[in-house]
Structure 1
């Protein structure tokens, strides 16, 4: 088995495994952190962004580079449409990839780059919620970027990126070279890509060309998220990604089928393993309450699905208890309406508590009631007349994108950034918040960082691994040492009794998992003629002769046809018909001597030795050496040799 790493970012995975002549890709996440190196895309003309001075690298004398960079408070940004770090497309030939298995909607955003811009011809599998929510994610980010097009495209900087002090460190292990970065795909590309996805349910088994079987198991991280088991008849591989043992809104994690794997691939652990999501949720509500008390507005950069549903629920309750019931909450996104509506028709993918509400009948999530009551209002954009009509302050606005490089959040930061009464709260751990705010400085509005990541932390992962007991474990190299900002926390590493293999981007790992056995189905007519013989208590054997049919990596033993028997019975030197019986066991010496006497041989003498015995037949100058595992006849006469061979055969058991 081979493991191929196509992404170095442990939280934006894309890997492949090659086993039994099958190439399987595991996730195809898009690393959007590279967008931090670019200047934000404002909805309307921005005085601040347009007034930023140009910047030219001192060590590079190219006047054309001067128009590609802007400087803000000592930080350098690329003045162009954002580009993203896609999975490696050169490490493997993507036209040989048989299937892509998707674990959750966040790990699917790079799919159009693979299905529409390469020779990929395989099949993509994902759960229904994963497909639908990924569609919303892709639609949102594409619309954000397409509605604020850049008149120019910077590209010369990619030849000299090492001399440019960008916000993003492009030399880190998880980033590919900027020459491989690409701009966002089009609406047509992502629609064509998602049309190729086949929907699958939890525990549903799919056949991969007869070689392997794959099953998705609930991961408990987000709606529709799953872990995958990939198995043959004798080997088992587990892919464990973005899982959670916490009680939130998704269906709980199903870990029992993940036990005793030959190989377990682990990634996507919590990006903030040192903080507790519950305590962060409490701080989130408290800080918002304080801002509202002084008449400030609250801005929450967020994704359009996932944790946002829990934020709505907890914040609405907190506002009610703290006397801020009249403060409106706005959810602004091109897919806001779809996100709110779709989440309430996914009862079978939620916890049993939320499932039970459907039968009352009530919506699984309380945000439906908040919308009906007017406390939560949703809009496609802040530029709409309907938003301006409903808008009042102080208020709370949930909008995207969390990178702060595109979306309605760009305009709202400029609108509210000059007042210290206003507050921006970061809950998504994907982007370092100080770097996200860098192009907006100087900024007066207060900043609070409350990262809420419900993925497994290192302690939970190590506990789970002790229960799962894999033989071999594959993890990103960053999981073998503490995080750079917490070097003293030696507990923030993966510690497992299994044999551990670590990887970086573009690594290929050969694993000690080899094909030892194959399963063969026996034709019913052939099976009915088998005559098992007991060789010891509880163990019986039988000989079988048939024709082996191999088709679609499945094997079947069938009855020999008459033409096959005729061919094998011919005198062709390359074909022989197997014997009807096989002998086994120890030679019965008493029976052998009796058979010699019946054949008129009376001068046989037995000599015992440490290896067995030797029978001397002087009249025919013949010696028969009998050892534990072999019998040798030494004789000049072919007729006597054949006679003795048949006698020895009669003295053995047959099967």
Structure 2
């Protein structure tokens, strides 16, 4: 999260949240998630009534938005792209739904001990998972969000104009440009140069003529000179899945039901067809998967050039629909649904949400 204060405006860029942001602290303040931890103390110290607007780069940076919108004095505007709004709402809802599922199995879970290494961490798994807002708060919050298109210029204030440019990271992901009295400030969040994957390609002009460039979410482990690396590793994973299917064994892939998993599913299905193998039973186990995996098929303008061209054939940009219609792909809300769902006798490839894998 960036809190930016200029002479005539104050704004925030991104507001992501992970459970340990609230509970991993050397100075525990109590059981209330709104009071627990140094990070929340910092958030409470902000005068949210002075914040004019919030910019969100991608769906991974929206975790605290409902709390800011519904539990602080913030009355400003919130700007995101349409896909970021749709996917982001699903992700924050999933966090709440899965925390409820965990609470129902609390006695079966190991408790996390409190040690000097993690300070006052003594909360249960459920408390760590539980967001500081409700599903009703999420609905109220997202009704206040303004959708924007790439390169659409918005003037939240007389002296400020903003626009979003594609970051290439995921569908609808954006790098933001804020123009304050002719001075251009570029906010570079998670971005990708890879052109073989499904999101719209990175708009490299975002830093052109910028007075200030603010960068976050850098992955220093990645060799950015090799833009095909992500595609290569996805291919390796898909190849391993196919080899497992060939041996009549099952595969579990721990992943959120959105983003690169679309490319992974496509690669896997195409490899299986190329090798003339019988299609496995694909499962997505998550309370939001049925929605997030189908959203991509109606987000054509936010995809890369090759995916957009396929729309004129006409052809659906992702293989999800084809697999779903021939019953090769099924959606389950939780692992418990496996006991009541009739499945194919063929090997299974299960994609399970990271927060729901237990």
- TM-score strictly above 0.5: yes
Corresponding residue of 1:330: 283
Residue 135 of structure 2 corresponds to 187
Q: Does 1:242 align with 2:242?
A: no
Cα distance between partner residues in 1 of 2:100 and 2:179? 43
Question: Counterpart of 1:261?
Answer: 210
Equivalent pair of 1:31/1:86 in contact (CA under 8 Å):
no
How far apart are 1:226 and its partner, in Å? 0.8
Greater mean alpha carbon deviation, residues 203-212 or residues 182-191: 182-191
Deviation of 1:324 (Å): 3.2
Q: Could you tell me how far apart the structure 2 residues matched to 1:85 and 1:91 are?
A: 11
Contact in 1 for aligned 2:95/2:130 (Cα 8 Å): no
Equivalent residue, structure 2, for 1:26: 13
Tell me if structure 1 keeps the 8 A contact 2:23–2:37. Answer: no
* Partner in structure 2 of residue 105 of structure 1: 59
Q: 2:64, 2:165 → 1: CA distance?
A: 22
Distance in 2 (CA, whole Å) between partners of 1:260 and 1:32 is 38
Assess, with a 3 A threshold, how the Cα gap between structure 1 residues 271 and 317 changes in structure 2: closer, same or farther: farther
**More helix by percentage:** 2
1:441 alignment partner in structure 2: none
Give the 5 Å matches for 1:577-592.
none
- 8 Å CA contact 2:269–2:279 kept in 1: the answer is no
Give 1:593's aligned residue. Answer: none
Q: Do 1:30 and 1:85's aligned partners in 2 also have CA atoms closer than 8 Å? A: no
User: How many Å separate the matches in 1 of 2:120 and 2:184?
Assistant: 37
> 1:84 touches 1:182 (CA, 8 Å); kept in 2?
no
Is this contact kept in 2: 1:114–1:120, CA < 8 A? yes
Structure 1 CA distance for aligned equivalents of residues 350 and 289 of structure 2: 12
Retained in 1: the 8 A contact 2:12–2:55?
yes
Matched, 1:149 2:103: yes
Local SS of the residue matching 2:241:
helix
Give the secondary-structure state (helix, strand or coil) at the position aligned to 1:89.
helix
Whether 1:361 aligns to 2:310 is no
**2:113 matches 1:126:** no
Residue 228 of structure 1 aligns with which residue? 176
Q: Deviations over 1:212-253 (max 9, x none)?
A: 111111111111111111112331111011111111111111
CA distance in 2, matches of 1:212, 1:385: 53
RMSD: 3.1
Once the two structures are TM-superposed, the CA of residue 362 in structure 1 deviates from its matched residue by 1.2
Relative to structure 1, the CA distance from residue 110 to residue 210 in structure 2 (aligned partners, 3 Å threshold; closer, same or farther) is: same
- Distance in 1, matches of 2:348 and 2:106, equals 36
| Distance in 2 of aligned mates of 1:186 and 1:279 | 40
Cα distance in 1 for partners of 2:11, 2:100 equals 33
| Cα deviation, residue 345, structure 1 | 0.6
Report how far residue 190 of structure 1 moved: 1.2
Q: Give CA deviations for 1:114-157 in whole Å, capped at 9, x if unaligned.
A: 1122211111110111100111111222111113326989xxx9
Q: Which moved more, 1:276-285 or 1:26-35?
A: 26-35
Q: Could you list the per-position Cα deviations for residues 64-109 of structure 1 after superposition, in whole angstroms to 9, with x for gaps in the alignment?
A: xxxxxxxxxxxxxxxxxxx999663144212211100011111112
Judge conservation of contact 1:332–1:397 (CA < 8 Å) in 2.
Answer: yes
Q: Report the CA distance between 1:262 and its aligned residue.
A: 1.1
SS at match of 2:103: coil
Give per-residue Cα distances to partners, 1:7-61, cap 9 Å, x unaligned. Answer: xxxxxxx111111320010000112456998xxxxxxxxxxxxxxxxxxxxxxxx
Give the structure with higher Rg (CA): 1
Shift of 1:189: 1.4
Count of residue pairs brought into register by the alignment: 332
Q: Could you tell me whether the CA contact under 8 Å between 2:80 and 2:148 is conserved in 1?
A: yes
Aligned to 1:211: 159
Pair 1:271–1:143, CA change in 2 (3 A): farther
SS in 2 for 1:112: helix
Q: Distance in 2 between matches of 1:19 and 1:182?
A: 35
Q: TM-score, normalised by structure 2?
A: 0.83
Gaps of 5+ in 2: 25-35, 122-127
Contact 1:20 1:211 in 2 (8 A): no
Deviations 1:463-492 (A, max 9, x none): xxxxxxxxxxxxxxxxxxxxxxxxxxxxxx
User: Is 1:278 matched up with 2:249?
Assistant: no
The one of 146, 160, 170 aligned to 1:198 = 146
Sort the Cα spacing of 1:334 and 1:85 in 2 relative to 1 into closer, same or farther, 3 A: farther
Distance (Å, rounded) in 1 between the aligned partners of 2:344 and 2:95 = 24
- Alpha-carbon offset, residue 374 of structure 1: 2.4
Structure 1 residue aligned with 2:31: none
- After superposition, the Cα gap between the structure-2 partners of 1:327 and 1:33, relative to the gap in structure 1 and judged at 3 Å, is farther
Tell me: CA distance 1:372–1:170, structure 2 relative to 1, closer, same or farther (3 Å). Answer: farther
Q: Kindly indicate whether the alpha-carbon contact (under 8 Å) linking 1:220 and 1:251 is maintained by their aligned counterparts in 2.
A: yes
The gaps in structure 1 that reach 5 residues or longer are: 1-13, 38-82, 172-180, 411-655
Alpha carbons of structure 1 residues 119 and 315: separation in structure 2 relative to 1, 3 Å: same
Whether the aligned pair in 2 keeps the contact of 1:382 and 1:388 (CA below 8 Å) is no
Distance 1:358 1:31, change over 3 A: same
CA, structure 1 residues 296+359, in 2 after alignment: closer, same or farther (shift >3 Å)? same
Change (3 A) 1:115 1:320: same
Residue number in structure 1 paired with 2:50: 96
Match of 1:307 in 2: 260
Distance 1:385 1:297 in 2: 14
- Structure 2 partner of 1:589: none
1:240/1:264 contact within 8 Å kept: yes
